[in-house]
Structure formats: structure tokens, C-alpha cells
Copies of this chain bind each other. A is one copy, B any other.
């Protein structure tokens, strides 16, 4: 069976994001996948990139350089245990689903901290092993998120601009950089402002999509997809 890691960032289990996460766990488990969830708020996941991420002596204690220190610590097995734990989950996963409410045209800080701290050099990339030769190649990623604004507000030419514009840093800058292939995002627009029935339809649509997810082709993660 395939392995799926769901990195989930919502404070409230009863939220619509919570429901989307549960639907994914249920549907993927039904398919025989083994599903792991990193529930970031429940874990009180640390988003700050600090010296605490390195166990033992620093490589250069005179001038702290987070990128260099985490690379060195990774090589000698000296990253903090919460990072090692998350890296194991990533290593084992065939697919990573990121489930979150859009905060300021991006992911919530707690999830950005997961990216900043887990995907360290040496583990996820190491020049020139980036983009198509990134160290996490042969994995898939899918960004599944909710918005406050409506679909119309995220159309090309409207006030928020094409929703794809804001996917560039997350999908290309992070996932593609690490060699991960990106499936089309799953976006639920403005669930707070639609009827209970519409929200149920959204959950059904997500479950439906997951049924045939493994047949999907990744997007062509290049500027043309985002800015054409």
C-alpha cells in the first residue's frame, strides 16, 4: 500500500479544514494506503528556526548560520528529535498532502515553520541536487486549502489576482525545488460563506477526487502554469 503524510494546520478539529483532513484519512485508508497525520497545532509544532534545532556542539558557535548548522547537524544525526521524526515521515511518504486555511496568500506560519525546519539541506536538497534532481524526487505533493475570498475574487484580472500566482512560492519554490512532483491544488473557496449543503458537496468532491488521485499526472511546474 502507498504511504501518505498529511501535514495539517488548523486549530479546531470541528473546522472545515478538520473535515477535509478526516475525509482524506478515511478515503485513503479505505484504499489501503497507510496514512500519517502531522497535526501541527495539536503537536504544538515549533515554527522558529533556532539553535535549539541542533543537538550538541555547533559547527561555528561564533556566528550562527541556520542553513549551515542544520546541514552539518543532519549529516552527523544531530538534529533535534522533532525534526528527525518529521523527516522520517517525509522519507517514507509517497504523497504529502498539505491541508490548511490560506493565511495572507500563503500557508499559516506554523506550516511555514515545518517547511523551514524539516526540509533542511542534505535531507531535501543539496546543490546541485535541486528541482528535478532534488533529493525528494519520486514523491508527490498536493496543496489542499480553504480561502476566505470567493473564486471570483481569485480570478485573473480581479482584485486578488489569479489564485495560481500565490501558488508559485509554495509549489515551485518549495516542493519542486526539493524534486517533489506537484499534483493540481485542491481549493475550497470561501467555505465560511456558503450553505451547509454546499460545504457537504465540497467534502464529497474531495473524497471523489481522492478515489482517482493515483492516476493523476503532476502539473507542469514551470512559469507557464502559473503566469500564462
Contacts and interface: CB of A to CB of B under 8 A. Distances in A.
Interface of A: 11-12, 14-15, 41, 44, 47-51, 62-67, 103-106, 108-110, 112-113, 115-117, 119, 131, 148, 157, 159-162, 165-166, 168-170, 172-174, 177, 192, 223, 226-227
Given A160-B173, A166-B168, 15 more contacts: A15-B65, A49-B103, A67-B148, A104-B169, A104-B174, A105-B174, A106-B106, A109-B117, A110-B113, A131-B159, A161-B172, A161-B223, A165-B169, A166-B173, A168-B168
B116 A108 contact: yes
Contact of A11 (B50, B62, B112, B170): B50
Contacts of A223: 157, 161-162, 165
A49 B170 CA distance: 20
Contacts of A51: 11
B14 A63 contact: yes
Nearest to A192: B65
Given A49-B11, A168-B165, A112 B105 contact: no
Nearest to A161: B223
8 contacts: A12-B64, A15-B64, A47-B110, A47-B113, A49-B109, A105-B174, A113-B113, A165-B168
Contacts of A41: 48, 50
A227 B224 CA distance: 11
Contacts of A62: 14
Nearest to A226: B165
A174 B160 CA distance: 11
A183 B20 CA distance: 39
Given A12-B64, A15-B65, A106 B112 contact: yes
Contact of A47 (B105, B109, B157, B166): B109
A67 to B, nearest CB: 7
A160 B161 CA distance: 21
B105 A109 contact: no
Given A47-B48, A165-B223, A168-B161, A64 B11 contact: yes
